[in-house]
Amino acid sequence: MSNLIPGNQKHLTLDDRIFIETSLAKGETFKNIAKFLCKDPTTISKEVKLHKVAQPHNRYNEGKNKCELRFNCHKKHICNLYAPICKKKCASCALCNSKCGDFVPQSHACPKLSKAPFVCNGCPQSAGNGCRLDKSFYRANIANRQYRTVLTEARNGINMSEGELGALDSLVSPLILQGQTPYVILKNNPEIGLSEKTIYNYIGAGVLSVKNIDLPKKVKYKPRGGHARPEARNDGIFEGRTYNDFVRYVALYPETNVIEMDTVLGCAGSHKVLLTLFFRNCHLMLAYLLEHRRAELVQKVFDRLEKAISTLNFCLTFPAILTDRGSEFSNPDALESGIGNVIRTSIYYCDPLASWQKAGIEKNHEYIRKILPKGSSFDELTQFDVNRIMSHINCTPRASLNGLTPLKLAGDLIHAQALRAFGLCEIPANDVVLTKALIK
């Protein structure tokens, strides 16, 4: 650690990371940031490099020719297909990429990212959207969530070596089979050095030779809370995910595409529900049929989408999700963490009884109710039927989009791989049906 900076051994907090992000945006050096936080400059450097988020370059107006040398190339008739009549330079034709022996793939890597500060925070070209290169940004909110993920993973598992676990098993398991309880075993063998709860956890996890059925009383007890009731709510899940947190997040990253999430219920006695996702930037709405209104089924939808479009595309397509406080959304950690326990999105909750905070999806539910009026049962529907309904809804022109359809606009704003995975298809304008006749 630098002798000039009186450091400490505490982990970086969310406030520290917000200060790093705002300082990088002002062009501050790692040394100046470290002095304020009482850290070594290498600590700040490692934090930024470890948690920087890649953002691919904008391909909206990207030409068909991908050659690095195309601007100074004067070659003609490389392909020999139109030699007698073609008078254009090959640099303006996409065929030259596959036919030309001098083709050099265009690089989109920014040379500035190879040195401090290693990110595009504070870069004037990046801020003005004039940069056509791949970018990297340091985002305090994402960095803190990644840090929490690693911290949780570090605390999982068995905190002992294989030899120590074998010795514990050889001592505890025979005594359990003799009818002794973990409490009695620990009382008579204090050298074990573990708590009674830990022994029960090891047995329940299957790391010892004995099982729960070998315990004298455990299998005789009924699981607590066996009555049918809604999933238990934990107000702790809303910490850092309230609507005020969402407003601050959008203020920091106004370019972020926000997705609103909700469920649509059928009639009384209907078990199936529709999980709906609404893109604010293009008004595209997705719907997925759930067998029940349960949190684990919402997580399965997220997992299937991530596998279909890749983790990176999921992060880019669903960066921030705003939903209500229904029991089906009561496990935000499972929704935010995806394949490999990588943070794939951020979940935020509206205030209680404040559906107006996600007015876009509430308004668009009217299209679903035209086809599936209140009182309809969803139990006979399939996901194929739902995709068909959403295709007709998303091919309806909207005055708020200057006459465009959500699906047409989504083609320019959402990655093509993600759009294909949504299962929607283009419906001719005169064939769009928004009545109950669509599913008969």
Q: How confident is the model at residue 1, as a pLDDT? A: 47
Contact (Cβ atoms closer than 8 angstroms) between residue 282 and residue 409: yes
Residue (of 319, 274, 289) closest to 418 by Cα position: 319
Neighbour count for residue 427 (Cβ, 10 Å): 18
> How many residues comprise the chain?
440
Residue 192, both tokens: 């074990």
Residue 44, both tokens: 């700040």
Unique residue bearing structure tokens 């265009």: 106
- Summary mean pLDDT of the chain: 84
Contact (Cβ atoms closer than 8 angstroms) between residue 366 and residue 257: no
How do the pLDDT tens digits run along the chain, 440 residues long? 455 555 567 889 999 999 999 999 898 999 999 988 888 899 999 999 899 888 776 665 556 666 766 767 877 777 766 656 676 777 667 677 767 877 777 666 777 887 888 888 888 776 555 677 778 889 998 999 888 888 776 666 677 888 888 899 999 898 888 778 888 788 888 888 888 888 888 888 888 888 888 876 665 555 555 444 444 445 678 888 999 999 999 998 888 899 999 999 988 888 899 999 999 999 999 999 999 999 999 999 999 999 999 988 999 999 999 999 998 999 998 999 888 888 899 999 999 988 899 999 999 999 999 899 888 899 999 999 999 999 999 998 888 888 899 999 999 999 888 999 999 999 988 888 888 888 87
> Crossing angle for the helix pair 383-394 and 406-413, nearest 10 degrees?
90
Express each pLDDT in 10-58 by its tens digit: 889 999 999 999 999 898 999 999 988 888 899 999 999 899 888 776 6
3-state per-residue secondary structure call for 254-299: CCCCEEEEEEEECCCCCCCEEEEEEECCCCCEEEEEECCCCHHHHH
Residue 211, both tokens: 């099982």
Q: How confident is the model at residue 408, as a pLDDT? A: 93
Q: Distance (Å, rounded) from C-alpha 199 to C-alpha 420?
A: 49
Q: Distance (Å, rounded) from C-alpha 106 to C-alpha 65?
A: 9
Contact (Cβ atoms closer than 8 angstroms) between residue 367 and residue 432: no
Express each pLDDT in 210-229 by its tens digit: 888 887 666 555 555 544 44
Which residues have CB under 8 Å from 386's CB, separation 6+?
A: 274, 287, 288, 289
Q: Distance (Å, rounded) from C-alpha 281 to C-alpha 70?
A: 35
Q: How confident is the model at residue 439, as a pLDDT? A: 84
pTM of the full structure: 0.52
Q: Distance (Å, rounded) from C-alpha 396 to C-alpha 23?
A: 45
Residue 235, both tokens: 């107000």
> Crossing angle for the helix pair 140-154 and 41-51, nearest 10 degrees?
90
Q: Distance (Å, rounded) from C-alpha 124 to C-alpha 118?
A: 15
